[in-house]
Structure 1
C-alpha cells in the first residue's frame, strides 16, 4: 500500500512539473509573439511632380534631392526605403492612416501642420516666389491686383498667398494638382503668374530662361522638414540624428551640390 501511494505521488509530481513547464513555454511564446517587431522599411510619401525635390526622370524613375537625402538617411538607419507617390492634398490623411511612414518632399513646417504632424529639425530654407511670363508687364507682387494667380493645391503657397495683403487683391487664386500644369497655363496665357516654392520655381525657370521671369518680391520665407506621425517619436529621433550626422560629415552638402550647384542645406 505504501509503495502504491509513493507511485501515485511521484506521478502527480511529474504531471505538475510537466504542466508548469508547458505553461512557462506557452507564456514565453505569447510574450515573444506580442513583442514589437523592429521596422525594417520606411515608406516615404511624396508628390512625384515636384522637381528637383522628387520627380520622375526620362526613364520614369523617381529621382531628386529629397529622394537622395531619404536614401542616405535610410541607409544609416539600416532600413529599406520605399517611395510612394500620393495625392499631396491628402498627405496628412495618408500619413496618419499609416499608409506611409514619413512625408519627405519639400514639406514646409507650419504651425497649422504641427497640430497633426511631427517634424524633424529644419534642413532647408525656402521662399514662395512669383513667376511670370517673360513678356509680362508685372514687376512686383503689388501689381498682381486683379490678376489670376496659380498655386499647387495643398501646398504652402496657398497659405502664403492668402495670408499676404497682396493675396486679397487677386481676381482669382487658381489651384492645380501640380506645378507643371500651372506652368503650362502660365505659358498659355491662362494665368498671369504662379506662386511656387523657390527650389522648384527656379529649377523650371532655369530650364526655360526665355519663357519665365522670377520677380524680386516673394510671399515669405519658410523651412522644410520631414514629417512623421506625432506618436512616432522613435522614428523622429532616429531621423533627426541621421540628418544631423549627414550635415556634420558633408554628405548632405554633397547631395545639395549635385542638385543645386551649391550647399543650401540649413
Structure 2
C-alpha cells in the first residue's frame, strides 16, 4: 500500500473517532412501569382444627365453626375461594410468613407483640381468658390457685395472659401446657390438673356440654380482642377483609352467624 494512501486512511479513522466522541449518548430505555398486583382469587386460611366452636371437625370430619362460617361468608363477598388448612397453632406466625397460609383466622388474639410480625383487621370479637375447675373443686378465686397445677394450650393467649399476672403465675405449683384445649380439659376431668385457663368462647362451649362436671370462676385473666391476621405486606388483602367484615356487621350477617354458634351476638 502506498504511503500517501495509508496516511489518508489513518486520518479518516481519527476523524470518525473524534466525531463519535462528540455524539450525544443514546437515550437509555425507559424503566418499565410497575406491575399491577395480581387480583386475589384464593386465600388459604390457617387454623387450629381442634378449637371449637371457632374451628373444629364435626362427626363427619368436616371443618365447621364460627370462624369457618365467617371466613366463608367473607370469601363469598370478595368473590374468591377459601381453602382451610389446619396448622400447628404454636407455629402460626411461621406458617403465615412462610406463605404456607395467607391468613390466620381462628380466634387469634390481637397483641402488641404479635403486631410486630402480623397485620390485624379491626377486632370482630371480644374475649376473656376464663378459669375452669371441676364442680367439686374448692377453688373459687385466682388466689386459690396457689400451689395448684394449672393447664393451658401451648402458644395460646391463655399462657400470655397468665404470665402478665406474674405474682399469680409464680404461686402455681406448675403451669402445664398442652397441644390443644381438649387434652387439657380431659386432664382436668381426670384430676391431673386443678384448673384450666382457656379462651372464653371455647371454655363456655365445653362447660355447656359438661355442666355437671365443670364450672367457670367469676375471676378471669383479662379481656382481649380477636382479629384476622395477614402478612404485614399484604395491605390490599387486609383492606378488603376489613371492608368486608364491616359490611357483615352492618347488615346483621355477623350477628346471625354468632347467634347460630353462641346463642347470642358476641361480635364487636
Match of 1:167 among 169, 183, 187: 169
Look up the match of 2:263. 261
Give the structure 2 partner of residue 80 of structure 1: 81
Displacement of 1:37: 2.7
Q: CA deviation at 1:31?
A: 8.6
SS at match of 1:59: coil
Query: Which residue is equivalent to 2:41?
Result: 40
Q: TM-score, normalised by structure 2?
A: 0.86
After the TM superposition, which residues 21-100 of structure 1 pair with which residues of structure 2 at under 5 Å, given as runs?
A: 36-100=37-101
Q: Return 70-79 or 163-172, whichever deviates more.
A: 163-172
> What are the ranges of 5 or more consecutive residues in structure 2 without an aligned counterpart?
1-31
Q: Deviations over 1:65-115 (max 9, x none)?
A: 000000000111110000000000000000000000000000000011011
The DSSP-based 3-state class of the residue aligned with 1:253 is helix
The Cα offsets for residues 233-262 of structure 1, whole Å up to 9 and x where unpaired, read as 100000000000000000000000100111
Q: Is residue 2:212 matched to residue 1:210?
A: yes
> Structure 1 CA distance, aligned partners of 2:46 and 2:33?
33
1:64-213 to structure 2, matched below 5 A, reads 64-164=65-165, 165-213=167-215
Listed one character per residue, the Cα deviations across residues 38-71 of structure 1 (whole Å, up to 9, x for unaligned) are 2210100000000000000000000000000000
Q: TM-score, normalised by structure 1?
A: 0.87
Please say which structure displays the higher CA radius of gyration.
Answer: 2
Backbone CA RMSD of aligned residues: 1.5
Unaligned runs of 5+ in 1: 1-29
Kindly report structure 1 stretches of 4+ aligned residues shifted beyond 2 Å. Answer: 34-37
For residues 221 and 33 of structure 2, what CA distance do their matches in structure 1 show? Answer: 55
- For 1:172 and 1:105, how far apart are their aligned partners in 2? 28
User: Distance between the aligned counterparts of 1:115 and 1:49, measured in 2?
Assistant: 26
How many residue pairs match? The answer is: 237
- How far 1:35 moved relative to its partner? 5.3
- Report the equivalent of 1:26: none
Normalized per residue, which structure has more helix?
1
- Provide Cα deviations, 1:15-47, integer angstroms capped at 9, x if missing partner: xxxxxxxxxxxxxxx999x65432210100000
Corresponding residue SS for 2:258:
helix
CA distance in 2, matches of 1:157, 1:115: 19
* Alignment correspondent of 2:3: none
